[in-house]
Amino acid sequence: MNLYENSKEGFADSKPFLLSPNFEVIYSYADIDHVSGLVATHLAERGLVSGDRIFVQVEKSVNVVVLYLACLRSGIIYIPLNTQYLKNELEFFTADARPKIVITDKERKNTFEPFTKSSNILIIDEIISISEKIKSPEVKYEPNEFSGDAAAAMLYTSGTTGKPKGAIISHKNLIANAQALTHAWNWSQDDVLLHALPVFHVHGLFVGLNLPLVNGSSIIYLDKFSSQEVVKILPKSTVFMGVPTYYVRMLSESALTKDSCRKIRVFISGSAPLLEQTSLDFKKKTGHEIVERYGMTETGMNTSNPLQGLRKPGSVGLPIEGVQIRARNESGCISEEGEAGEIEVKGQNVFAGYWKREEYRSKDFTEDGFFRTGDLGRIDSEGYLFLIGRKKDLIISGGLNVFPKEVEVVIDSLTEVKESAVIGLPHPDFGEQVVAVIVLKETAGLDKSALINKMKNKIASFKIPKEVFFLDELPRNAMGKVQKNILRERFS
């Protein structure tokens, strides 16, 4: 069964699915069922069948949700593209995936035309308007039959090293993850999600849309994040999901109070590490402790701090239902409790592999079916996961391992520091040197020698940065992750 059909059981047709920021009903569940069915019919009439691939690069809108659901229903593989991707990147993706149709907006159409000769280029607004005209309300969409193992979507990884890879996500993966998160976060029909995330990414697309869908709950749908707008709407919501940057910006709003959050059941953060200070400041101002979780493109969500029970500072929590995690040390053995290693994940949520990379499966997966995430972390005696960085970001200085996260935590604890990023750069003697890139708080005075002196009694000497740079802000991608590849290029 596909995700959409699996979701239809149990929700009332008249119940609101998408609500505007003014709390007006954009689509009820009956409406979205009808309109997405019309779009699925329209795509079929254009010759698309189950297994065909479509590219979608458009700004966030309600029409994107309609299109996504139409693809889920018809077995078309939905490939969302970051709206920041430019010509060279789009040309690579097109040559790699060979989509049958590219769906974009009028402003981007000219960008695609030179290298999409074998693909039709459609404008999303026109698809919706044409679809609504070609069929009467009485006509019901008849879905094609396909298995849960069929691909539902393909998302390209960031490609910070080498070329991006397309992670193929099945309907089974989406259903398993939505069901596990329903249990982990006690999701119900009564929840109202305030959706301010992009929808070209796992966080906003799969978690933000699929969870309400499978539970028959409502979404207040914002086309983009605005801290002022979000804080204004919080009293009408029960759940909010954001990246750490969102929470930092919300803290600057005077209207964010305990009273404005009185109906919120849970605040959830992911896609990038949440600074401990941000979490503490947010709890002090709102009375809510943000629930941090851990996921990735290839697996959806893997762990979450519990709603009830201990939430450990710096931890992304415990494995969610149906997910197994473990760490593997440098020697290739399963790590002991608290020992650092590469995190491996197994479960129904984990993808089957990358597009056109079948021959590399043994590198991506262990013999017993665990996915090698490339993330480094430690698992404590109670099963809580603590992430310490990406394997590719590991610094080996003078033959000794330095985990960037460990150094960043020390730097971020200094009163003058707003945030930091630690990277490794070439060094003639040590092979690599530890380098800190720091954003200071306003009016703070801190130079390289003062920083090093403050760190001497807090961390081993080989982990102390040999070089320090100061910036007004760290480069981040659309989901708030610090782009360390840009920092390495800039300062190397």
Q: Give the HSE-up count for residue 354: Cα atoms under 13 Å, Cβ half-sphere.
A: 20
Paired with 65 in beta bridges are: none
Give me the pLDDT at residue 469, please: 94
Global pTM?
A: 0.86
Give me the pLDDT at residue 140, please: 63
User: Which residues touch 47 (CB under 8 Å, ≥6 apart)?
Assistant: 100
Q: How far is CA 330 from the centre of its chain?
A: 28
Q: DSSP letter for 336, please.
A: P
DSSP notation for 303-327: EE--SSS---TT--BEEPTT-EEEE
SS3 state at 26: strand
- For the segment(s) 394-491, the CATH number from 3.40.50.920, 3.10.520.10, 4.10.490.10, 3.30.300.30 is 3.30.300.30
Paired with 54 in beta bridges are: 78, 101
User: Which residues touch 95 (CB under 8 Å, ≥6 apart)?
Assistant: 115
Give me the pLDDT at residue 192, please: 97
Contact 153, 146 (CB under 8 A): no
Token readout for 426 is 């070439």
Secondary structure of 343-354 as H, E, C letters: EEEECCCCCCCE
Contact 444, 234 (CB under 8 A): no
Compute the distance between CA of residue 315 and CA of residue 481 in angstroms, rounded to an integer: 17
Compute the distance between CA of residue 199 and CA of residue 417 in angstroms, rounded to an integer: 32
Token readout for 54 is 């479509």
156: number of Cβ within 10 Å: 24
Give me the pLDDT at residue 136, please: 55
Output phi, psi for 65, to 5 deg: -65, -45
User: Which residues touch 182 (CB under 8 Å, ≥6 apart)?
Assistant: 211, 214, 215
User: Which residues touch 360 (CB under 8 Å, ≥6 apart)?
Assistant: 354
Contact 172, 151 (CB under 8 A): no
Domain boundaries of the chain, sorted by first residue = 3-208, 394-491
The CATH H-level (homologous superfamily) assignment of domain 3-208 is ANL, N-terminal domain (3.40.50.12780)
**Burial zone of 56 (CB within 10 Å; 0-12 exposed, 13-18 middle, 19+ buried):** buried
In tens digits, the chain (492 residues) has pLDDT values of 677 777 766 566 889 999 999 999 999 999 898 899 899 988 988 899 999 999 999 999 999 999 999 999 999 999 999 888 888 888 989 999 999 999 999 889 888 888 888 778 888 888 877 776 655 555 566 666 777 889 999 999 865 446 789 999 999 999 999 999 999 999 999 999 999 999 998 999 999 999 999 999 999 999 999 999 999 999 999 999 998 889 989 999 999 999 999 999 999 998 878 888 889 999 999 999 999 999 999 999 999 999 988 888 889 999 999 999 999 998 999 999 999 999 999 999 999 999 998 877 888 999 999 999 999 999 999 999 999 888 888 888 877 778 888 888 889 989 899 899 999 998 877 788 999 999 998 878 888 888 889 888 888 888 899 999 999 999 988 777 888 889 998 998
**Burial zone of 289 (CB within 10 Å; 0-12 exposed, 13-18 middle, 19+ buried):** middle
Contact 15, 33 (CB under 8 A): no
Residue written as token pair 């007006």: 24
Give me the pLDDT at residue 96, please: 92
Give me the pLDDT at residue 224, please: 93
Compute the distance between CA of residue 73 and CA of residue 39 in angstroms, rounded to an integer: 10
Q: Is the dihedral of CA 223, 225, 226, 228 positive or negative?
A: positive
SS3 state at 236: helix
Compute the distance between CA of residue 84 and CA of residue 477 in angstroms, rounded to an integer: 9
Compute the distance between CA of residue 378 and CA of residue 100 in angstroms, rounded to an integer: 43
Token readout for 434 is 């530890």
Compute the distance between CA of residue 80 and CA of residue 434 in angstroms, rounded to an integer: 36
> Could you give the dihedral angle defined by the CA atoms of residues 123, 124, 130 and 134, in that order, rounded to the nearest 10 degrees?
130
Query: What angle separates helix 404-412 from helix 448-455, to the nearest 10 degrees?
Result: 100
Residue written as token pair 């596990």: 180
Compute the distance between CA of residue 239 and CA of residue 233 in angstroms, rounded to an integer: 11
H runs (alpha helix) in 260-346: 276-286
